[in-house]
Amino acid sequence: MKQQQIGLCTLLHGDCHQMMCDLPEQDLIFLDPPFDAWADISLPEWQSLICFTNFQNREKVTDQFGKPRSEVIWHFKDGRWISNKLPLMCHENILIYGNTNEADVGETNKDAGTAIKKGKSYIGKDNDLGDRQYIPKQRKQLKSVYEHPRMNKDHLGSWTKPTPLIQQLTEFCAETSVLDPFMGSGTMGIVCNKLGLNYIGIEKDERTFEMACERIYQENLQMDFFAPNPTMEIVR
């Protein structure tokens, strides 16, 4: 088994089905496996779970994990061909399970003189509390639909997930650590280093593993170079 430590990322080369049996409870598990791998997944205990699905494997996911807490749609304009008998696939479903961080979206002040007006209605109008004024804060909730272009394919024909989308999902669901048993190109590892989260990534394909390690390493070099007070040690 190959192992590399890059910043907060522990990167493992091997079969995740064998390795996950020995792992402790995880804060967040990020699942985006190949289509034929869903049936064999056995996970350690987790607090939160993010699953990328589509109409082909959604039933397998819900059969295994039940009804999700929430769902997000990732839409991309360049549709993916599946079959001549099916429409081009222009979105993926992201199912979210377990605990999520409370979004600090703002607060209401029922003592304010008037509510904020939006069109012909008032934001915060409530029969019990009267007029309330909405005071927004910087952090926003997840949206139900995100539009990001697909990134370049890797040598296996898989598309890299967009980093901004993965970061938004991770901020909403993770507190301390992330397990990514199908690491792929390493996007989640890059995000975890940016957010200061411990990360365990597992990849079975050797070439994909080496490419992911190099990508995370280069991103870390750039991030450390531009940091005002570099503290991250990069070990290869």
Host H or E run for residue 166: helix 163-173
The pLDDT of 174-199, averaged and rounded, is 94
Residue 123, domain extent: 105-140
On whether both 116 and 8 belong to a single domain, the answer is no
On whether both 166 and 66 belong to a single domain, the answer is yes
User: Is 60 in a helix, a strand, or coil?
Assistant: helix
Q: Chain centroid to CA 54: how far?
A: 16
On whether both 172 and 114 belong to a single domain, the answer is no
- Which of 89, 117, 140 terminates a domain? The answer is 140
The pLDDT of 217-223, averaged and rounded, is 88
Average pLDDT taken over every residue of the chain: 79
pTM, entire model: 0.77
User: Among 108-122, 138-152, 191-205, 209-223, which stretch is predicted with the lowest mean pLDDT?
Assistant: 108-122
Whether 233 is covered by a domain: the verdict is no
On whether both 132 and 15 belong to a single domain, the answer is no
Per-residue model confidence as pLDDT tens digits over 44-84: 899 999 999 988 888 889 998 999 999 999 998 877 777 78
Residues 92-102: b if buried by 16+ CB within 10 A, e if exposed: bbbbbbbbbee
pLDDT band at 2 (very low <50, low <70, confident <90, very high): confident
Query: Could you give the CA distance from residue 79 to residue 77 in angstroms, rounded to a whole number?
Result: 6
User: Among 9-13, 136-140, 163-167, 189-193, which stretch is predicted with the lowest mean pLDDT?
Assistant: 136-140
On whether both 215 and 150 belong to a single domain, the answer is yes
- Which of 87, 119, 140 terminates a domain? The answer is 140
- Which of 123, 140, 157 terminates a domain? The answer is 140
User: Among 117-121, 191-195, 217-221, which stretch is predicted with the lowest mean pLDDT?
Assistant: 117-121
pLDDT of 36 reads 67
The pLDDT of 2-10, averaged and rounded, is 93
Q: Look at residue 216 and tell me whether its pLDDT is greater than 60.
A: yes
The CATH number of whichever domain residue 178 belongs to comes to 3.40.50.150
Higher pLDDT, 224 or 175: 175
Whether 166 is covered by a domain: the verdict is yes
Q: What total number of domains does the chain contain?
A: 2
On whether both 90 and 162 belong to a single domain, the answer is yes
pLDDT of 104 reads 54
Whether 231 is covered by a domain: the verdict is no
On whether both 25 and 133 belong to a single domain, the answer is no
